[in-house]
Amino acid sequence: MRLQDYAFKVFENQIPSKSGIKKAIKRGEIFVEGKVAQTGTWINEGQFLELYETSANLPKVYEFKLEVVFEDNHLAVINKPAGISVSGNKFKTIYNALPFNLSKSSEIDVLSWPTPVHRLDNQTSGILLIAKTKTAQIELGKQFENQIIQKKYGAIVIGEVCGNTFINSPIENKNAETNFEIIETIKSLKFNKLTSLKVYPKTGRTHQIRIHLASIGHQILGDKLYGNKEMIHKGKGLFLCANEIKFLHPKTFKPIHIKIDIPNKFKSMLIREKRRWNTYNLTK
């Protein structure tokens, strides 16, 4: 495979675009087996690739204030707002905003740029785990892979969900399991009924919670991708929030449990829909 194509996969966290990789190669910042690579270099399995980071290949910092829930010398936890992507080709991303919000680690294996170890959809809010060192990045990645990390979400779905249960259906031919618990079901003039859920994904496939809940006929309120467009509640976004996480500290291996409040819009929506239902039925 050509280095230009392969390096993008390897160094995606450092240089999140193919054009950036091409520029880094031309600047002589990528080495193959200790030698400066060229854009036309072909690579083989087992070869050693290096990226020499400089101010030129680091992204521009996005000065956007984030809520930092937890931070130490190894990792951080932020409360990601809805409507902003974790990473990608755009400038306004969580990834580009991290150096503006977090202090640099003093550990010997400090990452030049704090790096998220998992993702949340653009419209999903809540807890995002950030590595500040290479050790933390590798160890937390292993914990996700081995399903040691436990995440909980709050969600509002359309319709009345009957019974606490779990969904176990593959996504893109990969095993995927989502457990959930019913908190409350209310009557709604627009949606007939809405159900508030606690959701516990056992695996972490892309859009897993959204796909699974839509598959049993209960799309998440505000889901434009997997929901019925006629049932979209305009202007309020997606009602899905990652509000709790449990993991082992990547250095001390002590258990860490972090929980945040569900956004106020969840409670406001349920109160508003209850009030509208009651008002309508009183005036009939």
Please report the pLDDT score of residue 283 as a whole number: 66
Q: What is the mean pLDDT of residues 78-85?
A: 97
pLDDT tens digits for 155-189?
999 999 988 788 999 999 999 999 999 999 999 99
Q: What pLDDT is recorded for position 105?
A: 95
Specify the pLDDT at position 55. 62
Average pLDDT of the residues of the chain = 91
| pLDDT for 252 beyond 90 | yes
Distance spanning both ends of the chain, measured CA to CA:
70
Indicate whether 284 pLDDT > 60. Answer: no
Average pLDDT in the 235-240 region?
90
Burial status of residue 134 (CB atoms within 10 A of its CB: 0-12, 13-18, 19 or more): middle
pLDDT band at 17 (very low <50, low <70, confident <90, very high): confident
The pLDDT value given to residue 16: 65
Buried b (16+ CB within 10 A) or exposed e, 245-278: bebbebeeeeebeeebebbebbeebbeebeeebe
Could you tell me the domains of the chain? 3-51 (3.10.290), 67-146 (3.30.2350.10), 150-242+264-283 (3.30.2350.10)
| Out of 133-137, 203-207, 209-213, 230-234, least confident range | 230-234
Taking residues 101-105, report their average pLDDT.
Answer: 96
Using CA atoms, how far residue 6 sits from 37, 41, 47, 121, 248, in Å, is: 13, 11, 12, 25, 32
Answer whether residue 131 shows pLDDT above 80. yes
Catalytic residues: 121
pLDDT band per the 50, 70, 90 thresholds, residue 201: very high
Q: How confident is the model over 40-64, as pLDDT tens digits?
A: 889 998 899 888 876 665 778 999 9
Per-residue pLDDT tens for 133-163? 989 999 999 999 999 999 999 999 999 998 8
pLDDT band at 233 (very low <50, low <70, confident <90, very high): confident
Average pLDDT over residues 97-123: 93
